[in-house]
Structure 1
Amino acid sequence: MKLLRAADRVAVPWKNGGGITREIAARPQEATGEGFGWRVSLAEVAADGPFSAFPGVDRVLTMVEGDGMDLALEGIGPRRVDTRFVPQHFPGDVPTGCRLLGGSVVNLNVMHRRGSSYGAEVEVVTGDVVIGAPQDGGTRLALPLDPGADFLRQAATPLERYDALAFTGTDPGGLLRTTGRTAVITLRHP
């Protein structure tokens, strides 16, 4: 298990300069720019405008703060994202415009290479959750979306909002104790 503290993340501009993102984890770990197989980040959208395009990539976007946004997906149509904690799936290479509904939003953004051995599933759960490495390999991340969480194994580890726990290999994990919501992200990789 690896603890990835939110306070340690660096804000970087989007590829198109339209917002900022804070990377939580990526695979391969040495990947830079668009060389990832999968990538998990928190993205801040402060103004209307286009999303960055990522050829050959699928996205799972989950709004975690804000009033929402209207997305215009070229060739697919409009999509309203106005309910927090509901994962939204769409292609990352489709030109996507965004209009905010009432101020800035923060999105949990999970991207993975389409048609490869990389993949991702996102689930938002409420309350305590037993969390550990996936049995079929890969990585599992647990990301508290509300304040007030503790990870219990041999001792309690207090977690801040948006801290992440990463489980790989045969790590049996433990109990994430919270009364709030947690994003559970299961990531496949070679």
Structure 2
Amino acid sequence: MSSRAEATTHGPEPARVIRVEDLAPTPWPNGGGWTREIHRQPSAQRRGQTAWRLSLATIDTVGPFSVLPEVRRWLLLASEGSLHLSIDGTVHRLGHTDTVEFDGGAAVEVIAVSGTSRVLNLMTYGGVGGHLQAGRLSENSEVSDRDTAAIVVLDGHLVVRQASLGRYDTLLLGPQSVDVRSEAATVVRVGVGGTRGDLPPPTSGRWADGTTDRNT
């Protein structure tokens, strides 16, 4: 993992809190933005390779994305405003919490951005499935890594034991269920697993409107 993290349980592989202020920004090669890597998960099947990677990007100008063959990507606009992408010639207009999925080998270009945008970026490798799903959690929820690899806070606060998570902080989940308390928290649930196309939406925990899942 690329940052200092706070364990929220004892024992092997506890849930961990990753603070956005602890993430060092790395400039893009084309100068069009910055990336803060939240987590890089090693592959259990492919020694020395990555299964999935989660990051937070800052975009403030137009320009092309890097081409990443054999990678599947999901982008979610985490900040207010709008972001327009051209993906293999098709224009996608993203508003707050909108998501787009595309192949890393596609020709992707930012063609319009309102101010400075923050974008949550999930990449999976080797055909692994994934998704990003935004919504408001109910006041009290129980979450686990069975269907949610991580939770990223967009607004409000999420309380996990003694830790309070604010904007762009991340709860990286382990095998043990964790009780969380939402204080008007809008979050993104990061799902990773299975093969591309067969990963169901998260079912653990509840959204504030009483449903168990919500598509962005």
- Quote the Cα distance in structure 1 between the aligned partners of 2:34 and 2:113: 19
Aligned to 2:21, the other structure's residue is in SS state: helix
The answer to whether the aligner puts 1:78 opposite 2:91 as a matched pair is yes
Percentage identity across paired residues of the two chains: 26
User: CA separation of 1:20/1:101 partners in 2, compared to 1, >3 Å: closer, same or farther?
Assistant: closer
- Comparing 140-149 with 38-47, greater Cα deviation is found at 140-149
User: CA separation of 1:6/1:122 partners in 2, compared to 1, >3 Å: closer, same or farther?
Assistant: same
- Quote the Cα distance in structure 2 between the aligned partners of 1:37 and 1:17: 27
1:12 offset after TM fit, Å? 0.5
Match of 1:125 among 129, 132, 135: 135
Number of equivalent positions: 175
Q: Which residue of 1 aligns with 2:153?
A: 144
Match of 1:94 among 103, 106, 109: 106
Q: Which residue of 2 aligns with 1:175?
A: 180
- Quote the Cα distance in structure 2 between the aligned partners of 1:61 and 1:71: 10
Q: Give the gaps of 5 or more residues in structure 2.
A: 1-14, 44-48, 195-216
Q: Which residue of 1 aligns with 2:197?
A: none
1:124 offset after TM fit, Å? 0.9
Match of 2:34 among 10, 20, 35: 20
CA RMSD of aligned residues (A): 2.3
The answer to whether the aligner puts 1:159 opposite 2:173 as a matched pair is no
User: CA separation of 1:179/1:50 partners in 2, compared to 1, >3 Å: closer, same or farther?
Assistant: same
User: CA separation of 1:39/1:93 partners in 2, compared to 1, >3 Å: closer, same or farther?
Assistant: same
After the TM superposition, which parts of structure 1 deviate over 6 Å for at least 4 consecutive aligned residues?
Answer: none
- Comparing 14-23 with 4-13, greater Cα deviation is found at 14-23
1:159 offset after TM fit, Å? 1.2
Aligned to 2:149, the other structure's residue is in SS state: strand
* RCO comparison, higher one (Cα < 8 Å, 6+): 1
1:44 offset after TM fit, Å? 0.6
1:36 offset after TM fit, Å? 2.8
TM-score by length of 2: 0.73
Aligned to 1:112, the other structure's residue is in SS state: strand
TM-score by length of 1: 0.82
1:108 offset after TM fit, Å? 0.5
